[in-house]
Amino acid sequence: APPPPAPPPPAPPPDKQRMPRLRRVRDYEREALGNPDALAANLGLADGLVQAGWLSGEELAAAYRLADVVATPSLCFESFGLLNLEAMLARKPVVASMWGGPSDVVEDGVTGFLVNPLQVGALAERLTRLLRDPALARRLGEAGRARAEGMVGVPAQRDRTLHEVSAHIAARLTE
């Protein structure tokens, strides 16, 4: 078997001219990560950081519409990737933690990318790649929408329910 491919080189710092709309809208791990405002200032990105706090309803839908990519590099084990499903339903490519539930939702290289969140260079490379390649982001976003609809959309839920009800009725009829 051929040797595994070499890891990609570390991503360069964000180019503010090419990615002027860099934003952060959810803040689940603020305590674990320290002060994101200070970090953004140190990286020269303070003018592009938005601390929106908790979003729901129309505010959350608007945030998804404005996003180019949704990153969920959680350091905590997640049992299910609901945030990723929401992003995929909004046709946004996802860069998610490879640990836990997100790997059940995001198909690496198909609907987004799965990364080890402790490998910051790989995370940055995937985000940069999507931000610099709108065609790739659009393709992954469309594939994500199709996958999410197949998982939680009304037709998928209807079909699974009818299958379960039919199986239950068939089992009762053979008793």
Dump pLDDT digits (tens) for 90-138.
999 999 999 988 999 999 999 999 999 999 899 999 999 999 999 999 9
Nearest to 40 by CA among 54, 24, 29, 20: 24
Query: Contact 55/83 with Cβ under 8 angstroms?
Result: no
DSSP labels for 16-50?
TTT-TT------S-HHHH--HHHHHHHTT-GGG--
- Return the pLDDT at 10: 46
| pTM over 0.85, yes/no | no
The DSSP output letter for 116 is -
Query: Contact 112/93 with Cβ under 8 angstroms?
Result: yes
- Return the pLDDT at 26: 47
Instruction: State pLDDT tens for residues 51-67.
Output: 677 888 898 889 898 89
